[in-house]
Each structure stands twice: as structure tokens, then as C-alpha cells.
């Protein structure tokens, strides 16, 4: 999407919004019109001054291109009574080299097609050009470069602004006319006009690059939203379905199995509760994904952290599920942490407890949180067998390590110093 289209879209949105305050109606074209009128008036005034200084005999308006030798009278009406003709000719030249610049905003190519030939003719045939005309030529070249090449005429900017004045300066140098006012002005234009054309082209290229970057960012955002929507659908259709089936089957087994021991019923109840808790968090995640993808917002709840009630609930759940000793050990005065750090620490503890139940069933587990030195150290270790059978290469450890790195910390996992398996994370301390 081009920058102009983006601005137009924002203007339409602001105009359609009922909360947009009414702005006073402005006339954006009035100021450029006044400036253009001033430039044309200055050009005409300067050209009339040149005409007043022109000799009454010889070439009127200094016209060597007519082929008349210097000092001889020109065609009829160019003697002492030809002064009005000189004034009229200079005024027309001034208008031809400045007035078409008024088309620059709407038709820069057409403006350049009128201004450049008039300037070349004024310099080559009449050996005169106003300062306003030179400025109009430079502005025309810049706007032509800034507008960019037309698709059907990519050569037009070079032909209309890049080539004529260097060729004119070269022709004047070969003809020995570089010492005059017009020759000096031609050389200056030969250097400045291509430079302003290049400056405008650079500005156009920068705008095009920015537009492409905006378009790429928009496409990337839409792609990401589509991917989030797809993930949300997959989670809902596959994962959530299977988790809900686990909850239903656990509850059904507890109610329909004859002679089920009390311990078995408790385990089935725990399975159902865990599945329902997983469904609750899954629905919360689905709500966030759908909201990011442009859908209806889901139920929003605070993310878990290191509040004592949440940690105790997590440890109690692990103790009841594993049927083994699980302790929570806090050292140092607890301090408020960044919510992202607290969430990372909670998820690391949660995943480490799950790994301990899976790979070291029945082993005692210690969860240690140490506050001090501007850091939070999280250590989860068990007294299981450890060694090669430990959870050292699965997705769980990879996810824990990624969470720690994402908040500026680090994580180590491996056999503990006294046996068993240990997960230790060092995370940033107090929030700034």
C-alpha cells in the first residue's frame, strides 16, 4: 500500500468517526497558488528589466540564433520602435519558463515537458533566463524525480531533466560562449538540474522502500493472525477434545467401576480435576489467540505467578498426584518481580514437577526458591535414579530453557550432586 493511500484511508476513517472534532475547512491549494503567482510576477519583472537593458540596435533581446551579425538591425520593427516587442518577448519567455510549474503537484511530467524546453530555448536562442525561471527548472527537476518514472515512459525524467542542460553546456563550450551570463547560468544548470533530479529520485526510492516495508509488515501481521486462528482451531478441535474426553472417562470410571478402592477413586478424581484445570487454561489460551486473530475476546484471568497460595496449590497437586513427599522451601525475603519473570518461574516449577512424576515416580521432590543478590534462583530436585533415564532431552526441558532465556535468565538441568535429577534456573530479581 502506498503512503498516499494510507493517508487517504486514515482521512476517511477520521471523517467517518463520530468522535472526530469538526476541523475548519482549509484551502490547501491557496498557498501554492500564491507562491506560484509571486514567482511568475518576479520572473516577469526580471525579464522586463533585462529587456530594458537590451540594446535598441542589433539583436533584439540578444537573439544570436536569428543568424544576424552583431550590430546590424534586425527584422522590421526591431529598431528604436521595437522596444515594445522586446518587452513582450521577454515577458513571454518568463511566463513560458515559470507558469507551467503550477502543474507540478498534479502533472509533474507535463510540467517538465513544458518548462525544460522553454528554458533550453530561452538560453540557446535568446541568451537570457530569469533567476525565477532557473529556480522553477530546479524545482521541476526535483518534483519530476520525486514522482518517479512513469511505467510507460521510464526514460522521460532523464530526457526532460538529466540530459538537455549538460548537452547545452557542452555545445556552448564548443561554440566559445561560456564567458557570458547565459553561458555561466547554463553550466550551473548543467550541474544542478541532474543533481536535483537525482535527489528527488532518492526521495522517491525511500518512499517506495518505506511503502514496501509497511506492506510487508501488514502481510506478516495478517499471516500471523491467520496462523494464530489456525492454531486456535487445532487446539479446540483436537487437544481440547481429547482432554475433555480424559475428564469424562475418569469421572465415568470412578462412578461405574464396581468395588473400586478408595485410593483408586481418589486417583481418578485427581485425573478429572487435572483435566478440567487443563481445559480451563486451554480455553483461556484459545481466547487470547482468537482475540489476537481478530475474533471475539475470551475470558481473561490473571496469569499464575509466585504468590504463596498458587505455589502451595501447585505443590499440593503434585504431592497428591505422585503420592510422595513434595516440599516447598523459600529462602530470603520475597520481593515483587516482573509478571513475566513470575510466570516463567511458575511454569518452570510446574514442568519440573511433571517431569519428576513421569520419570521418577514415587521420588521425593524439593522445590526451592531463593531470593537474594538481585536474582531469583529456582531449584527443583528429586531423589530418583537420575542418570540417562532422566528427562534431559525432551520438549519439556527445551520449553523451560526457552522461558528462562526469554526473561533474561538461564537454566541448567542434569544429575544432582547427591543423586537424582535437578533443574536449576537463575532469573532476574526485583522489578525495576
Q: Compare 427 and 74 and report the one with higher pLDDT.
A: 427
Q: Domain-by-domain residue ranges, the chain? A: 1-14+33-53+84-301, 308-428
Span 92-121, pLDDT tens digits: 877 878 877 777 777 888 888 888 888 888
What confidence tier does 8 reach under pLDDT thresholds 50, 70, 90?
low
Q: Which CATH number describes the domain made up of 308-428?
A: 3.30.565.10
What confidence tier does 411 reach under pLDDT thresholds 50, 70, 90?
very high
- Please report the pLDDT score of residue 90 as a whole number: 72
- Please report the pLDDT score of residue 365 as a whole number: 92
Mean pLDDT, range 47-61, rounded to an integer: 53
Nearest C-alpha neighbor of 138 from the set 107, 167, 111, 172 = 111
- Please report the pLDDT score of residue 60 as a whole number: 38
> What is the b/e burial string over 184-212, where b = at least 16 CB atoms within 10 angstroms of the residue's CB?
ebbbebbeebbebbbebbebbeeeeeebe
Of the CA atoms within 13 Å of residue 218, those in its CB half-sphere come to 9
Mean pLDDT, range 17-40, rounded to an integer: 58
- Please report the pLDDT score of residue 65 as a whole number: 38
Span 157-186, pLDDT tens digits: 777 777 788 888 887 655 555 567 777 888
* Residue 379, strand partner residues: 368, 424
What gap in Å lies between CA 398 and CA 119, rounded to an integer? 71
pTM of the model: 0.43
* Mean pLDDT lowest among 58-62, 244-248, 313-317, 393-397: 58-62
pLDDT of 412 above 70: yes
Span 71-88, pLDDT tens digits: 444 443 444 445 677 677
pLDDT of 67 above 50: no
What gap in Å lies between CA 134 and CA 209, rounded to an integer? 31
Sign of CA dihedral 168, 172, 177, 183: positive
What gap in Å lies between CA 402 and CA 399, rounded to an integer? 5
Span 331-375, pLDDT tens digits: 988 888 888 899 889 989 988 988 888 888 888 999 999 998 889
* Mean pLDDT lowest among 25-34, 91-100, 113-122, 286-295: 25-34
What confidence tier does 23 reach under pLDDT thresholds 50, 70, 90?
very low
Amino acid at each position: 500500500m502506498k503512503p498516499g493511500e494510507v493517508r487517504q484511508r486514515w482521512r476517511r476513517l477520521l471523517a467517518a468517526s463520530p468522535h472526530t472534532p469538526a476541523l475548519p475547512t482549509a484551502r490547501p491549494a491557496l498557498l501554492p497558488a500564491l507562491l506560484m503567482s509571486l514567482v511568475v510576477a518576479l520572473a516577469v519583472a526580471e525579464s522586463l528589466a533585462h529587456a530594458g537593458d537590451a540594446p535598441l540596435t542589433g539583436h533584439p533581446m540578444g537573439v544570436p540564433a536569428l543568424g544576424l551579425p552583431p550590430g546590424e538591425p534586425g527584422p522590421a520593427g526591431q529598431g528604436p520602435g521595437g522596444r515594445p516587442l522586446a518587452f513582450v518577448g521577454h515577458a513571454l519567455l518568463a511566463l513560458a519558463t515559470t507558469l507551467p510549474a503550477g502543474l507540478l503537484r498534479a502533472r509533474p511530467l507535463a510540467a517538465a515537458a513544458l518548462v525544460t524546453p522553454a528554458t533550453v530555448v530561452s538560453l540557446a536562442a535568446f541568451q537570457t533566463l530569469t533567476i525565477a525561471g532557473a529556480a522553477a527548472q530546479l524545482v521541476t527537476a526535483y518534483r519530476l524525480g520525486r514522482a518517479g518514472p512513469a511505467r510507460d515512459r521510464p526514460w522521460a525524467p532523464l530526457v526532460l531533466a538529466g540530459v538537455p542542460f549538460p548537452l547545452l553546456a557542452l555545445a556552448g563550450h564548443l561554440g566559445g560562449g561560456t564567458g557570458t551570463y547565459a553561458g555561466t547560468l547554463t553550466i550551473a544548470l548543467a550541474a544542478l538540474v541532474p543533481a536535483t533530479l537525482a535527489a528527488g529520485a532518492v526521495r522517491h526510492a525511500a518512499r517506495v522502500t518505506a511503502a514496501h516495508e509497511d506492506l510487508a509488515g501488514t502481510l506478516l501481521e495478517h499471516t500471523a493472525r491467520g496462523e494464530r486462528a489456525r492454531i486456535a482451531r487445532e487446539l479446540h478441535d483436537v487437544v481440547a477434545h481429547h482432554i475433555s474426553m480424559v475428564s469424562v472417562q475418569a469421572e465415568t470410571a470412578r462412578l461405574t467401576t464396581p468395588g473400586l478402592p478408595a485410593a483408586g477413586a481418589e486417583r481418578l478424581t485427581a485425573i478429572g480435576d487435572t483435566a478440567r484445570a487443563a481445559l480451563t487454561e486451554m480455553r483461556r489460551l484459545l481466547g487470547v489467540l482468537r482475540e489476537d486473530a481478530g475474533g471475539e475476546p475470551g475470558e481473561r484471568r490473571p496469569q499464575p505467578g509466585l504468590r504463596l497460595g498458587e505455589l502451595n496449590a501447585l505443590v499440593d497437586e503434585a504431592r497428591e498426584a505422585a503420592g510422595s513427599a513434595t516440599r516447598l522451601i523459600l529462602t530470603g525475603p520475597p520481593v515483587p518481580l516482573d509478571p513475566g519473570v513470575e510466570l516463567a518461574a511458575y511454569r518452570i516449577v510446574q514442568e519440573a514437577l511433571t517431569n519428576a512424576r513421569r520419570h521418577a515416580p514415587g521420588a521425593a521432590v524439593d522445590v526451592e526458591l531463593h531470593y537474594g543478590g538481585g536474582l531469583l534462583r529456582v531449584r527443583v530436585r528429586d531423589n530418583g535414579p537420575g542418570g540417562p533415564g532422566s528427562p534431559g532431552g525432551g520438549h519439556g526441558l527445551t520449553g523451560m530453557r526457552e522461558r528462562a532465556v526469554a526473561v533474561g535468565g538461564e537454566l541448567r538441568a542434569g544429575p544432582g550432586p547427591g543423586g537424582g535429577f535437578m533443574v536449576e534456573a537463575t532469573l532476574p530479581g526485583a522489578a525495576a
